[in-house]
Structures are given as C-alpha cells and as structure tokens.
Amino acid sequence: MFAIHTLQVLKRTPARLPVRHYTQYLKEHAYINGAWVSAKDGNTFTVKNPATGEELGRVADLGVAETQDAIQKAYDAFYTWRDTSAKERCEILKKMFALMVQNQDDLAKLMTAEQGKPLAEAKGEIMYAASFYEWFAEEAKRTYGDVSPAMTGKRGITIRQPVGVAGMITPWNFPSGMITRKLGAALAAGCTAVIKPAEDTPYSALALAMIAEEAGLPAGCMNIVTSSRENTPAVGKVICESPLVAKMSFTGSTATGKILLKQAASTVKRVSMELGGNAPFLVFDSADVDTAVAGAVLAKFRNMGQTCVCANRILVQDGIYDEFSKKMAVAVEKFVVGNGMEAGVTQGPLINDKAVQKVENQVKDAVALGAKVLIGGKRHELGHSFFEPTVLADVPKEALACREETFGPMAPLIRFKTEEEAVAIANACNVGLAGYFCSNNISQIWRVAEKLEVGLVGVNESIISAETTPFGGVKETGMGREGGKYGIDEYLQYKYICFGNI
C-alpha cells in the first residue's frame, strides 16, 4: 500500500517544468483538492498592477462554503500525507524548490506585476521563498523524539507528530516567501494546508500551487482559497473556528492578528502570529558612517519600506548625526523611482492608495511637530501609488512616524546622546520584531544586542533573515518562530508513550 503510494507520486512527477511566460501564471481559479475551481456563485475580484493601475486579471472570490470544502479536503488528505515517509515528503519539497529556481524569472515578473517591487528584489524573493522548501525538505527527516530511561520497569518514549490541518493567512508584501516559510515547514512535518493569500497578490500564491501540482504534491495537501477584501473576514473566521483546523499561522497587521487570535481561541488552536514591527536602527558614534548609511538605506527602503523588519526609526548619536543625515539624503537621492519591470528602477509603487495615505499622514504629522524634510516628502509625480523616497531630520519621538509602523519609503531620523537613552527609546513600544545597530565597540555590541526587546537583531548588518535562522518577534509582534531548526516545531506536537512491564 505504502510502496504503491510512493510510486504513484514519483510517476506523475515530471523532471522539468516547461518554462512559461509569466502571464501564463495568471490563474483565475482557486485551488482546492488538486482542482482549479471557481466560486460557487461565479464571483471574481480584480487584481491590479500598482505601477500602472491597470487590471491584471480577475480571480475567484470564494466564501464560507468553499472554505469549508477546502478544509474538509485538507483534513481528508492529512490522513494519507502524515503517513508518507519523511524521505518522500523531502523528495517532493525538493522538487518544489527546484521548480521555483528553474522558473525564477517568470515567477519574479508575476510578482512585480501584482506587487510592484523592482524585478531584482522579486527575483531575490523567489530564491528566498524557494530556500524554505529546500531547508524544510532536509528538516523533514530530523523530527527526532527521545527515550527517557529514568523509570524502573518502564521506559518513556516521546515522539513528535504532525498537528493536522494548518490554516495560513498571508500578506502581500512577500507574496511567495510568507507562504513557503509556513508551507514548507507544515508539509515537511506531515501537515496539510489551507492558505488564504492577500487579496492584492493572489497570483503569486496560485503560481505556487501550480508548482506544487507539477512537483507531484498529492491533491488536498495544499489548498488556496482566494477571496476579496469583502469576503476575507468570513473566510478567515471559518479557518480560525473550524474544529478540523488544528493550527493557525498568520502574518500581517497587529490589528488583524488580534481578531484572528480571539477567533482561534474558540477551538483552542495552536497559533503562530507574526504581526507588525517598529524596528529601531541605532547608529552609535563608534560606527563607520558609510557602512551605517548603506545599512540604514537598505533596511529602510527595501520593498519601498514595506517589510515588517524595515527600519522604522533611525536613531543616530549626536557625534555623527550631522554627517550621517547628510549622507543618508545623498544616498536616497540616487534612487530611481518607477515601474519595477523597468531596468534600473530601485523603488516601485506602494501596494495601494491606503498605503500612500499612511506615509503622507506620518510626514505631515512629523513636520507639524518640527521635523525637517531633507529629501522627498510627498506623492511622486508618477501618480498611482508612487511616493517620493523621503528622509526627515530631527523627528520628535512623539511623532506618529516613531510610534507607528510606516510601511512606506520614509526614514525618520532621531538624535540621541547616550546608549541608555537610545535603548530606552528603542524599547518604548508595544511590538518587537527586528532591531539593528551599528557600533564598533565590542562591549557595547554585547550590551545592546541583549537589551533590545526584539526577536531578531542585526549588528552592523541589515539583511538578516534566512531560511536557516528563526524569524519571529516578542511583545505584540506575536508568537512562534518560522525558519531555522525551530520552524518545524510549530507544526508538530509531542506524544509521550509509556512502555511498561519490561
């Protein structure tokens, strides 16, 4: 029985996926139980290209009934998938990895078309996303348990088993990476998944389903429920409240995370929450200014400032503040704003107008409180959802820009005098995901790294997330870790088996 299943999986797996034009990934159907499906009422919603405002296509707008169906199918598939060998799950995940790498260019174009990030960044995200399939393919084989010897006539055996169906709700800022970071771990552990991607970026999610299908992932293991902004709350509620869903993993805003946490409490689900951040970036007098400027620019403006690990508050010590702020403005002036598909563009549009309004508001508020605009400061002449890359100097810490996540291309600079003051400002917020600092003083590096109230710290480094390390935050940023050797734990539970009378 088992051998036959293995053979069936391997037989329908092609060696290579035909290379497609990215428009061939514009699927208008959702993906349930290995089939491409429409909404029962035939409704669809529009997906737009944020750089041009043009309609890219329409996607099935599923609701409660279809979500329940997807959950049931994932639940049925779980009983087969959990019994496959770790090696078999590893092989399929490795194929998913290989197919993503092979199709990197077109998957990246698709992402730029619906999300807006420059093509080079989109290509980087496809590789980042694929790396979780590769990593968890390897981890699938390492879900060890143990034997406890300290009992007379008995032995305690602890094994780790997949939790069951995992519900996943993912954001638009990393439309591929935020799915594979969860899905790779879940599939490796032996769980099946129902994924609700963001309404702005469903195509990247559906492309991942095409890849999984072509890699031979059995029907029902990965289901994609696409839904519009209007239907999403009902779909999310079904996922959170269904007794057939054992685990809920969410990446998105703190406000939405709190709603989902309350809903998931009704069935006492395991939850992972990766919610908002408000990353401090501290630059101490001992830092190399050029390295610090380059790091701050990267940490702030990647993905047009729309990452949850983006530097949100840049705190610079008095002794180098003036030099740093001048050099930061010069570096930001070099950005090329435009459609991410065009060569040389370094800054694309924001995801939608709501995102632009938020940045605009924060700039106005900071200026009203005395901040100075060093560069940028307003909507870009390209229109749509473009905003000028902006640097504000002397932003008071009471400003909205320091209290709230910006999620846009605006860097507020704050001056400080002492290490204690900087750490106190950095920690004075209710969330804690990433924190960065630049210093060449070894004792200070240890002190500050340990004192920052965050889940990830970059010391003289701005690009810190990798498949090999744990990602997640403290305080209201949430709970759980994705990636690293810890990521698979989120989808496994311990079982203790007592062997007696031996």
Distance (Å, rounded) from C-alpha 33 to C-alpha 21? 26
Number of residues located near ligand ADP, criterion CB under 6 A: 14
User: Which of 183, 178, 187 is closest to 128 using CA atoms?
Assistant: 178
Judging by beta carbons within 10 Å of its beta carbon (0-12, 13-18, 19+), is residue 68 exposed, middle or buried?
middle
| Pairing of β 30-32 and β 35-37 | antiparallel
Distance (Å, rounded) from C-alpha 284 to C-alpha 298? 18
Active-site option among 90, 191, 308, 438: 308
Subset of 36-95 contacting ligand ADP (CB under 6 A): none
Are the C-beta atoms of 318 and 368 separated by less than 8 Å? no
Please identify, using beta-carbon distances, which residue of 252 and 277 lies nearer to ligand ADP: 252
The residue range among 21-29, 164-172, 289-297, 456-464 that interacts with ligand ADP, by the rule CB under 6 A, is 164-172
- Of 9, 51, 71, 169, which lies in the binding site for ligand ADP, with binding defined by CB under 6 A? 169
Tokens for 165, please give them. 């169906």
Q: Which amino acid is at 477?
A: T
Q: How far is the CB of 171 from ligand ADP (least distance, A)?
A: 4
Using rule CB under 6 A, residue 259 touches ligand ADP: yes
Vertex 383 angle, CA 381 and 387, to 5°: 70
User: Which of 302, 327, 408, 441 is closest to 422 using CA atoms?
Assistant: 441
Q: How far is the CB of 406 from ligand ADP (least distance, A)?
A: 12
* Cβ neighbour number for residue 354 with a 10 Å cutoff: 9
Q: How far is the CB of 66 from ligand ADP (least distance, A)?
A: 15
The residue range among 107-115, 192-200, 217-225, 287-295 that interacts with ligand ADP, by the rule CB under 6 A, is 192-200
- Sign of the CA dihedral running 24, 28, 29, 30: positive
Please identify, using beta-carbon distances, which residue of 355 and 391 lies nearer to ligand ADP: 355
DSSP at 25 = G
Q: What backbone torsions phi and psi does residue 228 show, to the nearest 5 degrees?
A: -75, 170
- Of 171, 190, 349, 480, which lies in the binding site for ligand ADP, with binding defined by CB under 6 A? 171
SS3 38: coil
What Rg value do the Cα atoms of the chain yield, rounded?
A: 23
- Sign of the CA dihedral running 115, 117, 123, 126: negative
Please identify, using beta-carbon distances, which residue of 170 and 312 lies nearer to ligand ADP: 170
Which residues have a Cβ under 8 Å from the Cβ of 23 and sit 6 or more positions away? none
Distance (Å, rounded) from C-alpha 434 to C-alpha 421? 19
Strand residue runs (E) in 82-154: 146-148
Q: How far is the CB of 308 from ligand ADP (least distance, A)?
A: 9
Q: How far is the CB of 476 from ligand ADP (least distance, A)?
A: 13
Binding mask 123-162 for ligand ADP (x = CB under 6 A): ----------------------------------------
Please identify, using beta-carbon distances, which residue of 90 and 261 lies nearer to ligand ADP: 261
Q: How far is the CB of 256 from ligand ADP (least distance, A)?
A: 3
Q: How far is the CB of 247 from ligand ADP (least distance, A)?
A: 15
Query: Taking CB positions, which residue lies at the least distance from ligand ADP?
Result: 236
Largest CA distance in the chain: 79
Binding mask 215-254 for ligand ADP (x = CB under 6 A): -----------------xx--x---------------xx-
Active-site option among 88, 114, 274, 360: 274
Tokens for 340, please give them. 């991410």
Q: How far is the CB of 241 from ligand ADP (least distance, A)?
A: 11
Tokens for 63, please give them. 């609701």
Distance (Å, rounded) from C-alpha 385 to C-alpha 70? 34
Please identify, using beta-carbon distances, which residue of 180 and 256 lies nearer to ligand ADP: 256
Based on the residue annotation, tell me whether 308 is a catalytic residue of this protein. Answer: yes
Length of the chain: 502
Subset of 193-212 contacting ligand ADP (CB under 6 A): 196, 198-199
* Cβ neighbour number for residue 447 with a 10 Å cutoff: 15
Q: How far is the CB of 200 from ligand ADP (least distance, A)?
A: 7
Based on the residue annotation, tell me whether 467 is a catalytic residue of this protein. Answer: no
Distance (Å, rounded) from C-alpha 300 to C-alpha 412? 10
The residue range among 211-219, 255-263, 296-304, 326-334 that interacts with ligand ADP, by the rule CB under 6 A, is 255-263
Binding mask 468-487 for ligand ADP (x = CB under 6 A): --------------------
Are the C-beta atoms of 106 and 25 separated by less than 8 Å? yes
Please identify, using beta-carbon distances, which residue of 279 and 293 lies nearer to ligand ADP: 279
Report the interface residues with ligand ADP, using CB under 6 A: 169-171, 196, 198-199, 232-233, 236, 252-253, 256, 259-260
For the annotated catalytic residues, the residue numbers are 274, 308
